[in-house]
Structure 1
Amino acid sequence: MDFKIVLFVFACVIGTTLGEGLRCYACGFSSVDSDRDCLTITNDTRTVECPHLYCTILRQEFLDPVGQVASFARGCESQPDFLNHEVTDSTFRTFYRACTTDLCNIGNGIQSVTGGNLSPTPEYNGINLLVPGTGDAANIKISLVMLLLSIFVINII
């Protein structure tokens, strides 16, 4: 009987550790803010447990004056608008960056981030990449492991 309890606890632990999320830096800045700490990662930069697939950076610069940051955000998303891309309109140049490893959203937002091999080189040309195998694969794996372990435990009882 004790073996069944130990096996059940083991199954629960395995299920929860498989579901551990991504850690990302999370902060924001707007041109009207005086606190520009989000633009540079420090020991005090806030981190979050991200339940999604991507750590992200969104950097928006004014075209006039050139290079002045209008807004900047670090965070996590399930499906970013773009992985590593730049968009320019009549007012702004916007950099979208995404990566898939812990605390990978560290850059200034201008250079492409490469965590998780989303972009092959730092000189990546900005075209979106389709990344096979992403989505809810981790949740499917957790569910499958829990189902198999439950069946195993039921058969032992």
Structure 2
Amino acid sequence: MNRLQSVLFTGLFAALAVALMSAGLSNALDCYVCSSSESYQDTSCVDNSGALKVLNCSKKYCVTVRKELRRNSSKVVSFSRGCEDVPEMLYGNIPDENFRTYYTSCQKDLCNGHNGRIKNSTSGTGAIHNAIVPGKNAGHIVLFWPYSLLLATLLPLFNK
């Protein structure tokens, strides 16, 4: 292997390493995080997701759980936003005699910024979209393929 081939191989290896590390980082999910109960005077957890802390989460889903009174649905008893690997429920609600608890989960950055009753916002902007995103984004595969193409192009140089 001559010096030029050695330099090209080293550069290619470094680019491949950066691509693989970037792919690992791309799996992180930004989610709003907070919790609130009816005794809290600050209602920003329920009403103002833009004022909330954002967590770069290594889990698979952003989630919301909203518990409200059945007889007075405007009375939120508890509310939480966060991230989980396995949500208690992907989307739905569970009523009992006194309460109704809504569960939502999604897999886009900042998709849990809604009021907790709607289906998931998949745009990351808080806009309403009626969709449940079924799986994790395969962005790491997309990041990797250009480097595979580069490797396939340069490989014949090393076989001379």
Question: 85, 98, 114: which one pairs with 1:91?
Answer: 98
Structure 1 residue 7: Cα displacement = 1.9
CA-to-aligned-CA distance 1:122-155 (integer Å, 9 cap, x gap)? 4x8xxxx793xx379778x59xx6xx97xx7xx9
Structure 1 residue 94: Cα displacement = 0.3
Separation of aligned partners in 2, 1:130 and 1:102? 12
Amino acid paired to 2:35: G
CA-to-aligned-CA distance 1:85-112 (integer Å, 9 cap, x gap)? 0101123210001111111111111111
Pairing 1:40–2:23 present: no
| Runs of 5+ consecutive residues of structure 2 not aligned to the other structure | 1-5, 124-128
Separation of aligned partners in 2, 1:18 and 1:90? 47
Q: State how 1:28-67 maps to structure 2 within 5 Å.
A: 28-67=35-74
Greater CA radius of gyration, 1 or 2? 2
Matching residue of 2:3: none
CA-to-aligned-CA distance 1:22-45 (integer Å, 9 cap, x gap)? 211111111222222111235431
Moved over 4 A (4+): 135-139
Amino acid paired to 1:15: L
Pairing 1:16–2:37 present: no
Structure 1 residue 65: Cα displacement = 4.6
Question: 2, 10, 13: which one pairs with 2:7?
Answer: 2
Q: What's the TM-score, normalizing by structure 2?
A: 0.69
Amino acid paired to 2:88: D
Separation of aligned partners in 2, 1:63 and 1:52? 31
Separation of aligned partners in 2, 1:42 and 1:79? 22
Q: Partner of 1:26: helix, strand, or coil?
A: strand
Amino acid paired to 2:91: N
Q: Partner of 2:48: helix, strand, or coil?
A: coil
Percent identity between the two aligned chains: 28
Separation of aligned partners in 1, 2:81 and 2:112? 7
Cα 1:13–1:41, aligned 2, differ >3 Å: closer, same or farther?
A: farther
Query: How many correspondences in the alignment?
Result: 136
Q: What's the TM-score, normalizing by structure 1?
A: 0.70
Separation of aligned partners in 2, 1:9 and 1:44? 40
- Taking only aligned residues, the RMSD between alpha carbons, in angstroms, comes to 3.0
Structure 1 residue 71: Cα displacement = 0.8
Separation of aligned partners in 2, 1:3 and 1:107? 49
